[in-house]
Amino acid sequence: MPEKSQKDAERSEALEMNPWHQAMEQLDRAGSKMNMEPFVLERLRHCKRILTVSVPVKMDDGSISVFEGYRIQHNLDRGPAKGGIRYHPQVSLDEVKALSFWMTMKCAVVNLPYGGAKGGVICDPKKMSIGEIERLTRRYTSEISILLGPDRDIPAPDVNTNEQIMAWIMDTYSMTVGYSCPGVVTGKPIEAGGSLGRKEATGRGVFYVTRELSNIRGFDLRKAPVAIQGFGNVGANAAKIFAEHGCKVVGISDVGGGLYDAKGLDIDDIMAYRQTHESIAKYPRAEHVPVEHFVEVPCEVLIPAAMENTITHENASKVKAKFVIEGANGPTTNRADRVLEERGVLVIPDILANAGGVTVSYFEWVQDIQAYFWSEKDINARLQDIIVRAFREVYEVAQRERVDMRLAAFMVGLNRLAKAVRIRGTFP
């Protein structure tokens, strides 16, 4: 390849893998389709607040390591900031910016009274002890506490963070203000003011979306083989809930490798195996699939529930599924989207498909503020109501405007957001 075209190819590859660039392309696409006023789009092209913090942590061997962390509030026009906290070696400012923007859009699509935020720390929790993770969490919380508060900014779990970490965040914030403040974070353990159903909520929302899709499209979900990439909070709970509803989960993977069985995997058995093993990759009672080829396994419904950019223009042509339901945030690049669309694969976008998590986070926050807790039956029924309503609204826009579901979801979210931006006006 001549040097110039080689450079162009590398540049377009880099942009394809940059989540902020992807997110802004998605915004522009919706903005131009809707003829949106430039000032609204300009507001959304900027994050309202970006905080970078250094997080010194005393390690077990007595040394001090300094980690870099971020908390970004993308937009607060529809309410306080809401969004998870990620611990991962590949966390970057552009990634956190994109994730905070997608939170703004997601809360608007499902109509929750929140703005969007996200946080992250560049670290590898797999190489840290529990004590080191606790000290990292408490110091990071203290560093970003100038932004936090139940009516200001409410974090939640994301990749490599969990209920225990949320409890430390709640405790650290409470120690700082001098009283117990459960509403400052969601995804907490029940004992510390958490909500029933929160742990399973994102996976459950993915299931409700897929079931509604099967109702509208008229296919039998119990006969449609499902493959799920990622076996963490979203992926493992989705697998469990699909299996509980009689669906056949034929593929499942984590960062170490993938499993496949055309007759259906025994999810309970894999969950039990996971209790005593770091990864499911060597689980003995299934075929093994290399991680980089997992999205190509034979299935009808593919649920990427791991990280960004796992479906790219390079592997999109090998996806066998008819439906891609985005459990993860940003798993399909924009170039891959075009390839899938040309091949007639329907993608249900992240800002709709995985909104079950933030929806039950919202319920948890409401319960904390009222100090009155609901039954799990109530929570799941309300979750279903919100997710199905949002799905139908987006589907209806997609049909009416003859656009794909991602563009339709952006149009629904942007429309709601633009109304708030316009009516609040520009201060001063």
The only residue of 132, 357, 395, 405 in contact with ligand NAD, by rule CB under 6 A: 357
Distance of CA 22 to the CA centre of its chain: 15
Phi, psi of 144 (to 5 degrees): -95, 5
Q: Which is nearer to ligand NAD, 254 or 296 (CB)?
A: 254
CB 304, CB 331: distance < 8 Å? yes
DSSP conformation class of 223: G
Q: Report, in Å, the least distance between residue 340 CB and ligand NAD.
A: 18
Which class for 62: exposed (0-12), middle (13-18), buried (19 or more C-beta within 10 A)? Answer: exposed
Cis peptide before 428 (omega within 30 of 0): yes
CA angle 62–65–67, rounded 5-degree value: 150
Number of helices (H), then strands (E), belonging to the chain: the values are 14, 12
Q: Report, in Å, the least distance between residue 139 CB and ligand NAD.
A: 21
Output the six-digit token pair for 214: 């099967």
Q: Is 327 in the site for ligand NAD (CB under 6 A)?
A: yes
The only residue of 19, 83, 116, 157 in contact with ligand NAD, by rule CB under 6 A: 157
Q: Is 160 in the site for ligand NAD (CB under 6 A)?
A: yes
Give the per-residue contact string, 185-204, with ligand NAD (x = CB under 6 A; - = no).
-----------------x--
CB 346, CB 100: distance < 8 Å? no
Distance of CA 228 to the CA centre of its chain: 14
Q: Is 271 in the site for ligand NAD (CB under 6 A)?
A: no
Catalytic residue flag (residue 33)? no
Q: Which is nearer to ligand NAD, 80 or 257 (CB)?
A: 257
Name the active-site residue from 118, 199, 240, 248: 118
How many other C-beta atoms lie within 10 A of the C-beta of residue 102? 25
The only residue of 95, 143, 158, 368 in contact with ligand NAD, by rule CB under 6 A: 158
Output the six-digit token pair for 200: 């399973």
Q: Report, in Å, the least distance between residue 234 CB and ligand NAD.
A: 4
Q: Report, in Å, the least distance between residue 400 CB and ligand NAD.
A: 27
Q: Is 300 in the site for ligand NAD (CB under 6 A)?
A: no
Q: Report, in Å, the least distance between residue 415 CB and ligand NAD.
A: 22
Q: How many residues bind ligand NAD (CB under 6 A)?
A: 25
CB 403, CB 33: distance < 8 Å? yes
Closest residue to ligand NAD, based on beta-carbon distance: 232
**Element (H or E) spanning 363, and its range?**
helix 356-370
Q: Is 333 in the site for ligand NAD (CB under 6 A)?
A: no
Q: Which spans of this chain sit near ligand NAD (rule: CB under 6 A)?
A: 157-160, 202, 229-235, 253-255, 291, 305-307, 310, 327-329, 354, 357
Which residues are marked as active site? Answer: 118
